[in-house]
Amino acid sequence: MKKGGILVLTVIASFFFIWTGRPCNAREMKHDATAAKKLEFIRKNLSSLTEMKLADSKKYYEESLKSLNDLIQEYSDTEEALEARFFIGATYNEMHKYDEAIKCFDAVLAKDGISPNFKARTLFFKTKALLAKGDVATAREVVSDLRLIEPRAADAFLNELGGMIRIGMDAPTFKADDFTGKSIDLAKYKGSIVVIHFWATWCEPCLVEFPKIKTMYKKLKDKGVQFIGISLDDDIGDLRGFVKQEEVEWPQLFDGKRWKGVIPGIYHVQVIPMMFLLDKESKIRYIGDNTESVTQIAATLLSESKDLPLFR
């Protein structure tokens, strides 16, 4: 994706709590001035959280979610209630709860008569959630709807989607050193199921999920599944200390360039944690951050092999 497109999408996403637009104007829905004032107060509180670390802002997001749900219950069938549903989805996006976010956006889009502006906003953030969880196919469908209303935003997404990694395609190959200086060549792993895990010690959601990664590794390592960590750290000391403390056994590639690293670039990684599951032919079979899904798909791949033990 071109730098200009990235900048546009980043700026809009950063200020989604400010981008309220015109009223949603859904049919058979009324405007309530009191609800509007309450919603504006919640929106301002949310906009102040976007620069905070997720761990620090989590409780405030949860408080805002409660306030938004209370508003929906108290002022049901109002424009403000539907707008509150959108903000719940946007908040879930910020909390990296993409499935919950998509459900909220779908609830908004299911309402008849919402304004083009409001629909475009909702489609935009639904696309962001789908891309964050690696569902490129569905994201393309949503972008097609968005293009009918907001062509420039849709075109920026299409440029991004054109170069994204998709399930079923061959995994981009790479050869790089891990943080100890050992060379790791993905091509040599062909014939094995591979889990590529993008993460960083500065990424709080990554640290929260890391115990699940370790559990998955222990379950799969003796069944022929290979793990490769791609660290987006810029301080090798942070990575080295974490690996030692957590007794991480699988290789961790490191180049100290964060998002500008070669491997995050060729895999078009824009959100971490992110995992890619490769089959024995080095084709991508899963993209996302759900360890349960990785384990289930790996189990299916293993069950297709006669020379590897099955899950019990």
Residues 192-196: what's their mean pLDDT?
94
Q: What integer pLDDT is reported at residue 11 of this predicted model?
A: 39
Pick the CATH number of 3-162 from 3.10.20.740, 1.25.40.10, 1.10.510.10, 1.20.1370.20: 1.25.40.10
Smallest CA-to-CA distance from 19 within 1, 38, 46 is with 46
The pLDDT value recorded for residue 97 is 86
- C-alpha distances (whole Å) from 266 to each of 38, 261, 270 are 45, 9, 11
Query: For a pLDDT cut of 70, what percent of the chain falls above it?
Result: 83
C-beta separation of 301 from 280 below 8 A: yes
Convert the pLDDT of each residue in 97-124 to its tens digit: 889 999 999 999 999 888 888 998 899 8
Q: Which CATH number fits domain 175-303: 3.40.30.10, 2.40.128.280, 3.40.50.720, 3.30.930.10?
A: 3.40.30.10
In which residue are the tokens 């102040």 written? 48
Domain(s) labelled CATH 1.25.40.10 in the chain stretch across 3-162
Where do the CATH 3.40.30.10 domains begin and end in the chain?
A: 175-303
252: CB partners within 8 A, 6+ apart:
178, 179, 229, 230, 231, 239, 243
Q: In terms of pTM, does the model score above 0.85?
A: no
* pLDDT average, residue stretch 275-302: 90
Q: What is the pLDDT of residue 27?
A: 53
Banded pLDDT at 163 (limits 50, 70, 90): low
Q: Give residue-wise pLDDT tens across range 18-49.
A: 444 444 555 557 889 999 999 999 988 888 77
pLDDT for res 24 = 52
CB 226 within 8 A of CB 197: no
